[in-house]
Amino acid sequence: MRLEILLTALLFFGGTCLTGYTVRRLLKLKKEGILFSIVLGAMCWWALMELILVPMTMKFASFSSFVMIYSAAVAALSLLGLTCWQEIREDLRALIGNWRQYLTLGHLAALLLIVFELWFLHHHMYLEWDDTYYVNLANVAISSDRIYWVYPETGTLADFDKRYVLSLWPIFYAWLSKIFGVAATVMAHTILPWLMIPLAYMIYVLIGKRLFEDDTQLQGMFLAFAVLIHLFMSGEHTTGLTFLTITPWVGKGVLAAIVIPTLFYWILRAVCDGGAKNWILLSLTGLAGCLTSSMGIMLTPLFVGLTVLLLALQKKNLRYLAYGILSCLPCILLGLYYIRLTH
Amino acid sequence: MQEFFEIATTDFAATFEGAWMLPLLLLSVGLILWKEPDRTKKILLGVLPLAAIFVYWFPPTGILFMKLLGENVYWRILWLILIAVIIPYALCLLLRRCSGLRRQAAFLLCLALIVLCGTPLLASEEFLDSTNEYKIPQYVIDVCELLPENIHAMVSNRLMPYIRQYDTSITLEFGRNDYRYLNPGEADDEVGQMYLEAQESEIDLSVLAPTAKAEGCTFLVFSNTRTYIGEWEDYGYTKYASTDEFDIFVDMDYEEGQDTRKWEE
């Protein structure tokens, strides 16, 4: 199993990193670092998946054809990233050159906590009631070669549930399972935590860097606090933070613990840097949120709308509101379609 | 309106109970609003969480989102409060005033504060030792190893959520949502009666077995603590295998390797 975890992590983090460099080149984003590329690449993968998966599901395409098309798209984006070798080399050089800066008590504490969390989760299991539906949705996609025709809990053929048809996150790990020949249940429960937990904390690294640009010590401390809050403050199941530790494979957990903080990060950048680039990234992340959960279709525009409204009022500048609404357009369109489907 | 406040209050309390998260959050927001010199950061880290709480509690917005999201999951609006950004930022605002060893010591104190105010999630009883890479209960795998592929089965509620996570070639008579039959008055059909009978500690085979056979349940799996009124053989079933916790019965008409999966077009 260690080999499968390692290979999946290599594919995910390597692929998303290279994809991130491709997008960075397109948007002319320089000197952002490797973690930035990984986060950006992950959002790009998921947004792309939503764009490909929704029409394919509606057209009753087979799962294997989805795997082929999506793999080709992801491979193309990743390979294009290889052409950015000069920027990759620069980022690596900067990382290696500045490594001592990150040798702080905060970073060390955060690293220890993350390693402990991963170790603990690797040796324990959490029986999530909803897995009966979601994990089986991935299992069924692989075994039946149908994306969403089979009722996952019993295996009977059924019309798809309109509540979930726009947010088929389990197909993401079904895709990974298909590539590595691992059962989707194993991919979700045993391998995915090794991808989702580090990814979530990478976002907190990026947020910390933005908030305390000149103080790496505080960046480390911010990260350590964030990790510890995930481990200690998550009193109840309903708290969004809880999902990252108990069920990091569940779509709504990815939404709460990864996508929403990423939206916040892009807004933070957009406000500080200006320019359209960050709003494009925000839009991409909104679309990624739609894949993770149908809640993402509603919560993303709500979060972005609320934030840009406050910023527009503070700055007395309607530009923020306009950019915010434009960046939520994919979510708004999907939201209207969702309402049409469900009401 | 009263219903809205009842739901909102219950969900709000449920979200923040079990840890001193809400007081710490409110203190952090207050600190950010008071001490943060940058107005934009003040908006994003201080005003935004308050605005999310306002949207949650303000009846017009609350009722609207309750309708859009659904009453059962309305509390998810509270995910928009980035607790793991706001509290750490407020603590770092305090630490920014110190330097050197004092800052390191204050950092350790803040870590201790979070630990003391929180609930250790990893100590939850719901985390169980993992015995297999599927991370499902071992008794499920023990049963699945005995069952042949491509069959239709009716299984104990303890197995129901996990069987198909191990082997999707097994189709099940009841899924998780078939708990609807437990609602009074909704189990007036034979399949519902069969479901309810399967929940009894002493199962009357004259109620359960004929319907199971008619519905194509080739395999039946029940906890070995169950007792039965009647003989399985009289209803066309026989014992197939056993595990430490479960007994497996098979339709006597079943032939090894036969595909009995139930697909409903």
Q: Which residues make Cβ contacts (< 8 Å) with residue A88, sequence separation at least 6?
A: A21, A34, A81
What 3-state DSSP class applies to B169? Answer: coil
Assess whether B116 and B38 both reside in one domain. Answer: yes
Assess whether B20 and B103 both reside in one domain. Answer: yes
Q: What percent of chain A is modeled with pLDDT above 90?
A: 66
Q: Which residues make Cβ contacts (< 8 Å) with residue B250, sequence separation at least 6?
A: B218, B219, B220, B237, B238, B239, B240
Assess whether B181 and B98 both reside in one domain. Answer: no
**pLDDT value at residue B185:** 62
Higher pLDDT, A7 or A97: A7
Assess whether B142 and B239 both reside in one domain. Answer: yes
Q: How far apart are CA A339 and CA A101, in angstroms?
A: 50
Nearest Cα neighbor of A291 from A28, A129, A53, A2 is: A53
Tokens of A120: 């603990």
Give A157's pLDDT tier (boundaries 50, 70, 90): confident
**pLDDT value at residue B265:** 44
- Chain A interface disruption, residue of B165, B219, B261, most A CBs within 10 A: B165
Q: Which of residues 41-60 of B touch A (CB under 8 A)?
A: 41, 43-44, 47-48, 51-52, 55
Higher pLDDT, A38 or A341: A38
pLDDT in tens, A198-246: 999 999 999 999 999 889 999 999 999 999 999 987 656 667 788 888 8
Smallest Cβ–Cβ distance between A218 and the set B76, B96, B122 belongs to: B96
Say whether pLDDT at A330 is over 70: yes
DSSP assignment of A192-252: THHHHHHHHHHHHHHHHHHHTTT-HHHHHHHHHHHHHHHHHS--STTSHHHHHHH-TTSHH
A80 touches chain B (CB under 8 A): no
Assess whether B44 and B90 both reside in one domain. Answer: yes
A332 touches chain B (CB under 8 A): no
Let me know: does B5 contact A229? Beta carbons within 8 Å. no
Q: Could you tell me if residue B166 is inside a domain?
A: yes
Smallest Cβ–Cβ distance between B166 and the set A185, A223, A256 belongs to: A185
* pTM attached to this predicted model: 0.93
A129 touches chain B (CB under 8 A): yes
pLDDT in tens, A87-98: 999 999 988 888
Among the ranges given (A83-97, A165-179, A314-328, B11-25), the one the predictor scored with the smallest mean pLDDT:
B11-25
- Work out the angle at residue A290's Cα, subtended by the Cα atoms of residues B73 and A177, and round it to the nearest 5 degrees: 105
**pLDDT value at residue A338:** 85
Give A150's pLDDT tier (boundaries 50, 70, 90): confident
Cα–Cα distance list, A320 to A274, A326, B75 (Å):
10, 10, 27
Smallest Cβ–Cβ distance between A230 and the set B84, B96, B130 belongs to: B84
Nearest Cα neighbor of A248 from A113, A112, A135, A151 is: A135
Cα–Cα distance list, A304 to A282, A324, B160 (Å):
9, 6, 40
Tokens of A124: 């324990």
Let me know: does B166 contact B144? Beta carbons within 8 Å. yes
* Sign of the CA dihedral running A35, A40, A43, A48: negative
B84 touches chain A (CB under 8 A): yes
**pLDDT value at residue B191:** 83
Smallest Cβ–Cβ distance between A234 and the set B24, B51, B121 belongs to: B121
The single residue listed with the structure tokens 């056993």 is B242
Q: How far apart are CA A302 and CA A296, in angstroms?
A: 9
Judged by CB atoms closer than 8 Å, whether chains meet at B82 and A260 is answered as yes
Tokens of A276: 């359209």
* Nearest CA-CA distance, residue B133 and chain A, Å: 6
Residues of B in contact with A156 (CB under 8 A): 171, 262-264
Q: Which residues make Cβ contacts (< 8 Å) with residue B98, sequence separation at least 6?
A: B106
Number of domains in chain B: 2
B97 touches chain A (CB under 8 A): no
Let me know: does A304 contact A180? Beta carbons within 8 Å. no
Sites in chain B below the pLDDT cut of 50: 264-265
**pLDDT value at residue B183:** 63
What's chain A's average pLDDT? 91
A239 touches chain B (CB under 8 A): yes
**pLDDT value at residue B181:** 58
Q: Which residues make Cβ contacts (< 8 Å) with residue B222, sequence separation at least 6?
A: B155, B156, B198, B203, B246, B247, B249
pLDDT in tens, A233-279: 765 666 778 888 888 999 999 999 999 999 999 999 998 887 789 99
Number of domains in chain A: 1
Give me the mean pLDDT over the A17-36 stretch: 92
| Domain end marker among B121, B155, B175 | B121
Which residue of chain A comes nearest to B72, CA vs CA? A238
Residue A298 identity (one-letter amino acid): M
A158, A159, A162, A168: CA torsion to nearest 10: 60
pLDDT in tens, A122-140: 999 998 888 888 999 999 9
Assess whether B19 and B114 both reside in one domain. Answer: yes
Q: What percent of chain A is modeled with pLDDT above 70?
A: 98
Assess whether B7 and B114 both reside in one domain. Answer: yes
Higher pLDDT, A14 or B193: A14
Judged by CB atoms closer than 8 Å, whether chains meet at B48 and A225 is answered as no
Assess whether B47 and B86 both reside in one domain. Answer: yes
B117 touches chain A (CB under 8 A): yes
A234 touches chain B (CB under 8 A): yes
Assess whether B146 and B219 both reside in one domain. Answer: yes
Q: Could you tell me if residue B224 is inside a domain?
A: yes
Smallest Cβ–Cβ distance between A302 and the set B80, B82, B115 belongs to: B80
Assess whether B101 and B165 both reside in one domain. Answer: no
Judged by CB atoms closer than 8 Å, whether chains meet at A190 and B175 is answered as no
* Nearest CA-CA distance, residue A239 and chain B, Å: 5
Residues of A in contact with B129 (CB under 8 A): 123-125
Assess whether B7 and B111 both reside in one domain. Answer: yes
Q: Which residues make Cβ contacts (< 8 Å) with residue A147, sequence separation at least 6?
A: A53, A56, A57, A60, A61, A62, A63, A66, A141, A168, A171
Could you report the predicted ipTM of this complex, rounded to two decimals? 0.93
| Domain end marker among B93, B121, B149 | B121
Smallest Cβ–Cβ distance between A156 and the set B11, B130, B264 belongs to: B264
Residue B88 identity (one-letter amino acid): P
Residues of B in contact with A119 (CB under 8 A): none
**pLDDT value at residue A212:** 93
Nearest Cα neighbor of B36 from A264, A212, A269 is: A212
The count of residues in chain A is: 343
**pLDDT value at residue A238:** 67
* Domain residue limits at A129: 2-342
Q: Which of residues 24-63 of A touch B (CB under 8 A)?
A: none
* Domain residue limits at B6: 2-121
Q: Count CA atoms within 13 Å of residue A190 on its CB side.
A: 22
Judged by CB atoms closer than 8 Å, whether chains meet at A190 and B172 is answered as no
**pLDDT value at residue A204:** 97
pLDDT in tens, A51-86: 999 999 988 899 999 999 999 999 999 999 999 888
The single residue listed with the structure tokens 């399972």 is A177
Assess whether B17 and B67 both reside in one domain. Answer: yes
